[in-house]
Amino acid sequence: MLEIRFHGRGGTGSVLASRALAKAVFYAGKHAVTFPSFGAERRGAPVVPFVRINEEPIYQRTQIYEPDMIVVLDESLLELIDVAKGLKSDGVGVLNSTKKPEQIKLSKPVNAWVLDANKIACETLGHSITNSAMLGALIQGTKIVSLENLERGMLSVFKAKLGESVARKNVEAARIAYDNTIYGTTKGSRNYSDMQPWLPDINELPIGTIIPRTQVNGGQEIGPGSAKTRITGSWSNYKAEINQDKCIQCLQCMFHCPEGTIQQNSDYLVVNRRYCKACKICEYICPEKAISMVKINGLAEIIK
Ligand code: SF4
Ligand code: SF4
């Protein structure tokens, strides 16, 4: 059994890529199953699709914790999430990066095929959705299926969702990636920032909050803190900022923020940038127009 774990972001095609790969495996006469794990509710949030491939029927439906391969579609995830976690000692990576393999630092050294998938996607498709380029690199590196079967799988899955001409452009991106992937070994020993709880304790919640602190449903924590293991601030390049001169302390923004990132600090309000996902609800709700979205300077500002 071959187990592959994709790391992507919501809305950027990682689930479509895993389905196209599974279809290509069927065309190659093998068995495959694929399913995603969605962490949260919107575009930009980390998503982890899984693919299992086998000569025999596959009955296992658990998430993949010790993959043979990892495929990372978004370069920023290399800084944020320990994508090599659980990767088998002889496992391999397929990484989207502008760097050479030996310049990439993960939690452990990983033999990897690396490509600048954003560049290929932008030049071929006119946007930076990297899923098709990553599939081309995956096939070049691992030869799981032939390029021909990958193209059949992609056409079948992409055409149903995006139409034939877009599907064919995606196949072209995969072909270009197939020819432009380099092999090497990454560095190891990168320390990843702990995923810390940030939401207020039950005693710190504003008066009127009616959601219980936590509930357990199938092993997932929900309610305030539902996303406490995720750094939701990494989902956007913009963050909420409060103009203290305009703010009248009505606390409407604090009540409405879905991430609980707005907190009262003695006599003014602060936004925790680590978890502000720039949903703009506070900007919309503020009666004094005291909140605006400001651009941040990359992930370093969030995960420090
Ligand atoms: S934009 Fe405002 S409401 Fe949305 S997460 Fe950030 S602080 Fe909270
Ligand atoms: S909603 Fe606007 S005015 Fe009210 S506390 Fe928040 S920032 Fe201040």
- Do 211 and 97 lie in one domain? The reply is no
243 C-beta closer than 6 A to ligand 2? no
241 C-beta closer than 6 A to ligand 2? no
Q: What is the CATH number of the domain that holds 98?
A: 3.40.920.10
**Whole-angstrom Cα distance, residue 35 to residue 58?**
13
Q: How much is the pLDDT for 81?
A: 86
Q: Is the residue at 149 inside a domain?
A: yes
Indicate if the pLDDT at residue 202 is higher than 90: no
Nearest Cα neighbor of 62 from 78, 50, 71 is 50
**Final residue in a domain of this structure, among 185, 217, 251:** 185
Question: What average pLDDT does range 154-176 have in this prediction?
Answer: 92
**Final residue in a domain of this structure, among 142, 157, 185:** 185
- Do 17 and 145 lie in one domain? The reply is yes
269 CA: nearest ligand 2 atom? 5
Q: How much is the pLDDT for 259?
A: 80
The domain in which residue 282 lies consists of 202-303
Q: Is the residue at 122 inside a domain?
A: yes
- Do 221 and 273 lie in one domain? The reply is yes
What's the CA-to-centroid distance between 266 and ligand 2, angstroms? 15
290 C-beta closer than 6 A to ligand 1? no
278 CA: nearest ligand 1 atom? 1
- Do 181 and 216 lie in one domain? The reply is no
Q: What is the CATH number of the domain that holds 222?
A: 3.30.70.20
Please list, residue by residue across 243-264, b when 16 or more beta carbons sit within 10 angstroms of its beta carbon and e when fewer do.
eeeebeeeebbbeebebbbbbe
- Do 166 and 19 lie in one domain? The reply is yes
- Do 153 and 72 lie in one domain? The reply is yes
For residue 253, the ligand closest to its alpha carbon is: 2
Total count of residues recorded for the chain: 304
Q: How much is the pLDDT for 82?
A: 92
Indicate if the pLDDT at residue 154 is higher than 80: yes
- Do 40 and 101 lie in one domain? The reply is yes
Q: How many domains does the chain have?
A: 2
Q: To test the ligand 1 pocket, which listed residue (232, 247, 282, 286) has its Cβ within 8 A of the most ligand atoms?
A: 282
- Do 126 and 267 lie in one domain? The reply is no
What's the CA-to-centroid distance between 203 and ligand 2, angstroms? 21
Query: Could you report the per-residue pLDDT of 91-109, keeping only the tens digit for each?
Result: 999 999 999 999 999 999 9
Query: Could you report the per-residue pLDDT of 19-55, keeping only the tens digit for each?
Result: 999 999 999 999 999 987 765 556 667 788 999 999 9
| 92-96 sheet: strands from edge to edge | 31-38, 46-54, 2-9, 69-72, 92-96, 111-115, 182-185
Q: To test the ligand 2 pocket, which listed residue (252, 256, 271) has its Cβ within 8 A of the most ligand atoms?
A: 252
